[in-house]
Amino acid sequence: MSEARHDWAKEEILEIYNKPLMELLYDAATIHRKNHDPNVVQVSTLLSIKTGGCPEDCGYCPQAARYHTDIVGNDLMTVSQVKAQALRAKASGSSRVCMGAAWRNVKDGPEFDEVLEMVRTINKLDMEVCCTLGMLTENQAKRLAEAGLYAYNHNLDTSEDYYKDIISTRAFEDRLETIDNVRKSNVTVCSGGIIGMGEKLEDRAGMLVALASLNPQPESVPINALVAVEGTPMEDIEPIPIWDMIRMVATTRIVMPETQVRLSAGRTEMSREGQAMCFFAGANSIFAGDKLLTTPNPDVNQDMEMFKLLGLNPQKAFTKISQPKTVEASDSQYKGLNEKPKWSRPGHSIERNEQAKKKAKLTD
Ligand code: SAM
Ligand code: DTB
Ligand code: SF4
């Protein structure tokens, strides 16, 4: 029977987060061992299939068009490019490919049809396929499921309160609605957030309350440390201490015992010892490969050396949930509805984001 609780209070979570470290680690590791093999870590490779030029104003993101960062933008990759990258990822030990697109939301049409074909292609390579494409309708989630999608990543990113200070072009409820749409299909949910964006501890706890209250809880929860990229409104934020990551991972493990907790962006700043403590605290998945979407990540050889040193083994594909069946486009029971969903546009002003936009204009 599931021991997951959905009624965590923020104060309870803060109390866990602030425990003496040795107690926190012991509690988290005990729960981890009850629910998972502590020597197995799931390995995913990220693939940015459409990079940059995004209309949103997420204050952390180098792909938002308005901040003019140094990243090299790209139109949608082709299915054969994606297949070649997936084969490379599989050969290097990844069991999952996560395809990211710098879109606000998915639009029915030729580009989405291409993405569906990418999903079919990777599923046929017997790898888990994940997508992160922005907001999604129920019909679109079902079309992705039919193509063989294993997981959909859609992060809450921070607490509902702090969300308004980070993004003005959509609302926290839009995120929840997309997650709900994914839940109406048989695709698993990957949803987490970022720490180190200037949030309070209450916001970290608030984000965990929101994630843990989802029923079922997300199958995967990525915990990212902010990668402060020049040109974004958060360029000057100092990296968080490793202790914050360890505490956040341990707390996530305790409030979501069955989920895969993913040690995500920010690993280039972490020592092996720091990462080892995160694995001990309950992290059991990582992104591998020398690039996340646009920023650096430790290279595969370094990670494989770390796995050897720590006695960790990569998780085999479809260990947790069996492989979805792929339905060919010609046999699909769904078609694009060309819906015009009313995703919100709060449009409030965020001083830090406005400043970054102005600065980008001046240097154009
Ligand atoms: N556009 C889609 C969306 O926002 O859902 C998918 C791609 S978006 C880049 C996926 C996630 O990457 C974001 O939700 C955020 O959590 C993470 N991310 C983006 N920039 C980051 C940064 N600089 N540091 C850490 N995580 C970041
Ligand atoms: C997630 O939580 N982190 C990944 C994945 N899901 C899509 C993305 C991290 C992006 C870091 C900044 C970049 O490389 O652009
Ligand atoms: Fe666009 Fe996603 Fe980046 Fe926000 S996080 S700017 S939606 S790519």
Q: Helix, strand or coil for residue 282?
A: coil
Handedness of CA 340, 343, 348, 350 (dihedral sign): negative
Pocket test for ligand 2, best of 43, 45, 46, 229 (most atoms within 8 A of CB): 46
Select from 46, 49, 50, 56 the residue to mutate for testing ligand 3; criterion: most ligand atoms less than 8 Å from CB. 56
- Residue in 220, 223, 282, 254 with CA at minimum distance from that of residue 37: 282
CA distances from 50 to 76, 101, 294 (A): 5, 5, 11
Say what the pLDDT of residue 243 is.
98
**What integer pLDDT is reported at residue 342 of this predicted model?**
86
Which pLDDT belongs to residue 361?
A: 80
Total residues found in the chain within this entry: 364
User: Could you tell me the residue ranges of all domains in the chain?
Assistant: 40-244+259-279+286-363
* Pocket flag, ligand 3, residue 63 (CB < 6 Å): yes
The residue whose CA is least distant from atom 4 of ligand 3 is 58
61 alpha carbon – ligand 1 mean position (Å) = 6
Nearest to 293 by CA among 160, 173, 130, 175: 130
Ligand 1 pocket residue status of 174, Cβ below 6 Å? no
- Asked if residue 266 has its Cβ within 6 Å of ligand 2, the reply is no
Is there a contact between 257 and 35 (Cβ–Cβ < 8 Å)? Answer: yes
Q: Which ranges of the chain have pLDDT less than 70?
A: 1-2, 364
Q: What phi-psi label fits residue 283: left (phi over 0), alpha (psi between -120 and 50 degrees) or beta?
A: beta
- Atom 8 of ligand 3, nearest CA residue: 102
Residue 130 among known ligand-binding residues: yes
Write the CATH number of the domain with boundaries 40-244+259-279+286-363: 3.20.20.70
Q: For helices 138-147 and 110-123, what crossing angle results, to 10°?
A: 40
CB 43 within 8 A of CB 286: yes
| Other beta carbons within 10 Å of 65 | 16
- The reported pLDDT for the residue numbered 204 is 98
Separation between Cα atoms, residue 136 and residue 99, nearest integer Å: 15
**CB distance 214 to ligand 1 below 6 Å:** no
Q: Is the CB of 297 under 6 A from ligand 1?
A: no
Please state the separation of Cα 149 from the chain's center in Å. 15
Rounded to the nearest angstrom, the distance between the alpha carbon of 309 and the centre of ligand 1 is: 30
* Cβ of 24 less than 6 Å from ligand 3: no
Question: How much is the CA Rg of the chain, to the nearest whole Å?
Answer: 19
Question: Could you identify the atom of ligand 3 that is nearest to the CA of residue 101?
Answer: 8
Is 343 in contact with 135 (CB distance < 8 Å)? yes
Closest CA to 116 of 126, 125, 106: 106
Q: What DSSP string describes 36-56?
A: S-TTEEEEEEEEEEEBS-B--
DSSP string, 85-152: HHHHHHHTT-SEEEEEE--SB--SSHHHHHHHHHHHHHHTTT-EEEEE-SB--HHHHHHHHHHT--EE
Whether the CB of 71 sits within 6 Å of ligand 3: no
User: Can you tell me the distance from the alpha carbon of 297 to that of 314, in angstroms, rounded to the nearest whole number?
Assistant: 17
Average predicted confidence (pLDDT) for the chain: 97
Q: Distance, CA 321 to ligand 2 centroid (Å)?
A: 24
Q: Name the DSSP class of 74.
A: B
**What is the per-residue pLDDT for 3?**
76
Residue nearest to atom 9 of ligand 2 (CA): 265
Q: What is the DSSP string of 58-70?
A: -TT-TTBGGG--S
Q: CA-CA distances (angstroms) from residue 1 to 4, 5, 35, 139, 183?
A: 9, 12, 11, 31, 20
Query: Does residue 108 contact residue 76 with C-beta atoms inside 8 Å?
Result: no
Q: Which residues pair with 130 in a beta bridge?
A: 98, 151
* Residues 34-79: tens digit of each pLDDT: 999 999 999 999 999 999 999 999 999 999 999 989 999 999 999 9
CA of 2 from ligand 1 middle (Å) equals 30
The minimum-distance atom of ligand 2 relative to the CA of 297 is 14
Q: How far is the CA of 265 from the centre of ligand 2 (A)?
A: 6
pLDDT score recorded for residue 2: 62
**Ligand minimally distant from the alpha carbon of residue 179:** 1
Using the mean position of ligand 2's atoms as its centre, give its distance from the Cα of residue 295 in Å. Answer: 8
Does the beta carbon of 149 lie inside 6 Å of ligand 1? no
Helix, strand, coil percent content, the chain, rounded in steps of 5: 40, 15, 45
What pLDDT, in 10s, does the model give residues 147-202?
Answer: 999 999 999 999 999 999 999 999 999 999 999 999 999 999 999 999 999 999 99
Phi and psi dihedrals of 105, rounded to 5?
-155, 165
